[in-house]
Amino acid sequence: MWIEVTNDDESFLMSQYRLTAMSSPDYQGMCNDEAERDYRKRVEIFRTIFEPIDSSLISTPDHKESSWTYMKCDHARQHFIVHNVKGYLFQKVVNFIMNLRTTSHPFYLSRHGQSEYNDLGRIGGDSGLTEHGLAYARRLADFVDRNIVKDKEGKHVPSRLWTSTMRRTKETAQFIPQEKIIIKAESDPTVEYEWVQMRPRAWHHLDELFAGSCDGMTYEEIEAEFPDEWERRNVDKLAYRYPRGESYLDVIARLEPIIIEMERHREPLLIIAHQAILRIIYAFYLGKTRAEAPYLSIPLNTVIELNPGPIIVHEMVSILHDFEWFISFMFIFL
C-alpha cells in the first residue's frame, strides 16, 4: 500500500524541519541552526526527485497507478483519496491515518497510586488506594495543575483526563480539580463554548489485563496452585492467556480504539491506568516490538510524558519518592 502525505502549510513545515533537525540522530552533536539548514537542503533535493501518485487517470485500465493500492492524504484540508483498498488490515490503516492530526499534543501516562492489592502483592482485583496511594493522588493533582492544564504563560488550556473503570484509577484522579473555562471554537473564533478541564472519562478498554481464575492471587500462589499455567506464562508472556482471562495480545486488540482516540484529539491528555495497559500504549509510541512490551518498566509514583513529533520525546518524572512516603507515614503516626 502506498501512502502519500501532502502538506503545503509553510509555517507547519518550518516548525517540523526545525523539530526534525533538533531531534534526529543524524544531527547529533551539530548545532540546531546548522542541522536545520542541512535538513532543508535535503528536503530540497527530495523535492526535485519526488514523483507524486497520479490519481487523475484512476479509471484508465492501462494507467500504471490504477492497479495500485494507495491513499493520498492532505490532513490540513481534510482531503483524502483512497484507491483499491481491500481487506481488514488495509481498511484499518486507512481509518487510523484519517484520524491523525498534524497538531501534536503531549500525553501523560500514570499508573494508579499504590492499591491495597499492590501492597499485599496480589494481582488484579478492584481494591482502593492505600495511604501511600492517596499521597500519590494528591501529588498528581499538583503535577496536573503545574504541568498539564496551563501553558507556559500560566493560561488555562483545554485538557483531558481518562481513567479505567476500576476503583484504584478513579481514586487516583479524585483530587484533580475540574475547572470550567471558556474557549473559542476552532472553526469560528467568534463562537465561544464552555470546557470542563480534566473531566474524568472512564474507559473499560483501560481496565487492567484480566487474570481470570488467577485474579486476586499473589504470583507465589499462582506458581504453587497452577504450575503449568505459570510455566506457560514464563515461556510466552505476550500470547499467554490466563484461564478465563486475557493475554497481552487480547489487551493490544482492545486498546486499538484508545490509540485512535488519542490521535484524534488535540488537547493534552492524562491517562491514569494500569501496568499492563500502559506498557502497551508506551510500547506503541516508542516503537517497541510486541514481544518487548510485556516486560517494559512502568513504575508506580511516576508520570511518563510523551511528546509525539517527528521523533517522539519522552520523559519519566517520579513525583512521589519512597523516602517522602516514609516521612509522610511517620508524620501520620506521630
Active site residue ranges: 111-112, 118, 168, 208, 274
**Residue placing its CB nearer to ligand F6P in the complex, 87 or 299:** 299
Return the residue of 73, 222, 276, 320 that touches ligand F6P, per CB under 6 A: 276
Q: How many CB atoms are closer than 10 A to CB 100?
A: 12
Which position has the grid cell 464552555? 194
Helix (H) or strand (E) holding 168: helix 167-173
Helix (H) or strand (E) holding 30: none
CA angle 220, 137, 305 (to 5 degrees): 90
What cell does 117 get? 492489592
Q: Are 42 and 17 in contact (CB under 8 A)?
A: no
**Residue placing its CB nearer to ligand F6P in the complex, 124 or 133:** 124
Q: Are 275 and 261 in contact (CB under 8 A)?
A: no
**Residue placing its CB nearer to ligand F6P in the complex, 275 or 301:** 275
Helix (H, G, I), strand (E, B) or coil at 202: strand
283 makes contact with ligand F6P (CB under 6 A): no
Return the residue of 21, 206, 211, 303 that touches ligand F6P, per CB under 6 A: 211
Q: How far is the CB of 300 from ligand F6P (least distance, A)?
A: 9
What is the C-alpha to C-alpha distance for residues 224 and 236, in angstroms, rounded to an integer?
19
| Residues in CB range of 334: below 8 A, 6 or more apart | none
Q: How far is the CB of 170 from ligand F6P (least distance, A)?
A: 15
Q: How far is the CB of 102 from ligand F6P (least distance, A)?
A: 35
124 makes contact with ligand F6P (CB under 6 A): yes
β-strands 269-273, 302-307 pairing: unpaired
275 makes contact with ligand F6P (CB under 6 A): yes
What cell does 9 get? 502549510
**Residue placing its CB nearer to ligand F6P in the complex, 113 or 124:** 124
**Residue placing its CB nearer to ligand F6P in the complex, 6 or 234:** 234
Q: How far is the CB of 242 from ligand F6P (least distance, A)?
A: 9
Q: How far is the CB of 154 from ligand F6P (least distance, A)?
A: 36
Q: How far is the CB of 317 from ligand F6P (least distance, A)?
A: 20
Q: How many residues bind ligand F6P (CB under 6 A)?
A: 10
Q: Are 126 and 167 in contact (CB under 8 A)?
A: yes
Question: Restricting to residues 128-147, which ones interact with ligand F6P according to CB under 6 A?
Answer: none
Return the residue of 19, 21, 71, 123 that touches ligand F6P, per CB under 6 A: 123
Sole window of 20-28, 53-61, 250-258, 270-278 interacting with ligand F6P (rule: CB under 6 A): 270-278
What is the C-alpha to C-alpha distance for residues 210 and 245, in angstroms, rounded to an integer?
5
β-strands 70-74, 2-5 pairing: parallel
Q: Is 44 exposed, middle or buried (0-12, 13-18, 19+ CB in 10 A)?
A: exposed
112 makes contact with ligand F6P (CB under 6 A): no
Each residue 2-41 as x (binds ligand F6P by CB under 6 A) or -, in order, gives: ----------------------------------------
What is the C-alpha to C-alpha distance for residues 308 and 323, in angstroms, rounded to an integer?
33
Residues of the shown chain interacting with ligand F6P in the complex, contacts defined by CB under 6 A = 118, 123-124, 208-209, 211, 274-276, 294
